[in-house]
C-alpha cells in the first residue's frame, strides 16, 4: 500500500509559483491597458475644468476623475500624479452650503459630492473655485466650502496650470 506524505513541499512551491505568475499577468494586463497613452510618461500632471452644475452628473464624473490618480497604471509611474480642479460656471453651486430652492435628492447628491471633494483634498488634489462665476450665479462667497481656494478668474488658473505643464 502506498503511503501518502502529508507534507509535500513541491506542491506548495508549485502553488506559490503559479500564484506569482498569475499576479504578474494581472499587473502586465493593467499596465498594458494604457501602453499607448502612457508610453514614456514619467508622471501625470492634469487640470480639470469643471462647469456642469448637475450634482448627480458630478458624482458620476468625479468617480472617473479620482480614478485618474488612483489607477494602478498611474500609481506605478515613477512620479506621483498631480491633479488640480478648477470650478466655474454653474458648478460653483455645488460648492455652496446654501441649500435653499434645492430638491431633497439634489441636496443628498451635493452632500455626497462635497464629501468626495474633501477626500480628494486629503489625497493632495488642488481645488479652486472661480469667484467671477460665483458672482455671476449669485452665490454668496461666504457659503463656499472653506477648504477650496478662491480665485478671481478660473480661466487664469487653468491657463496657469497649463503653463506649468498640466494638461
Listing DSSP states for 8-58 in one string gives -HHHHHHHHHHHHHHHHHHHHHHHHTTTTTTTT----EEEEEE----HHHH
Q: Residue 27: which pLDDT band, with cuts at 50, 70 and 90?
A: very low
Q: Would the pLDDT of 24 be above 90?
A: no
User: Is the CB of residue 46 less than 8 Å from the CB of residue 7?
Assistant: no
pLDDT band for position 29 (cuts 50, 70, 90): very low
Amino acid at each position: 500500500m502506498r503511503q501518502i506524505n502529508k507534507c509535500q513541499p513541491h506542491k506548495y512551491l508549485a502553488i506559490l509559483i503559479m500564484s506569482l505568475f498569475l499576479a504578474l499577468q494581472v499587473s502586465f494586463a493593467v499596465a498594458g491597458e494604457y501602453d499607448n497613452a502612457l508610453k514614456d510618461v514619467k508622471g501625470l500632471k492634469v487640470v480639470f475644468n469643471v462647469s456642469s452644475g448637475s450634482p448627480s452628473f458630478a458624482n458620476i464624473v468625479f468617480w472617473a476623475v479620482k480614478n485618474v490618480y488612483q489607477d494602478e497604471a498611474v500609481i506605478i509611474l515613477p512620479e506621483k500624479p498631480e491633479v488640480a480642479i478648477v470650478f466655474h460656471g454653474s458648478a460653483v453651486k455645488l460648492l455652496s452650503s446654501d441649500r435653499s430652492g434645492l430638491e431633497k435628492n439634489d441636496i443628498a447628491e451635493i452632500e455626497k459630492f462635497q464629501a468626495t471633494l474633501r477626500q480628494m483634498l486629503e489625497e493632495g488634489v488642488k481645488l479652486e473655485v472661480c469667484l467671477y462665476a460665483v458672482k455671476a450665479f449669485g452665490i454668496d462667497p461666504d457659503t463656499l466650502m472653506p477648504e477650496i481656494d478662491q480665485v478671481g478668474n478660473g480661466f487664469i488658473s487653468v491657463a496657469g496650470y497649463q503653463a506649468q505643464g498640466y494638461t
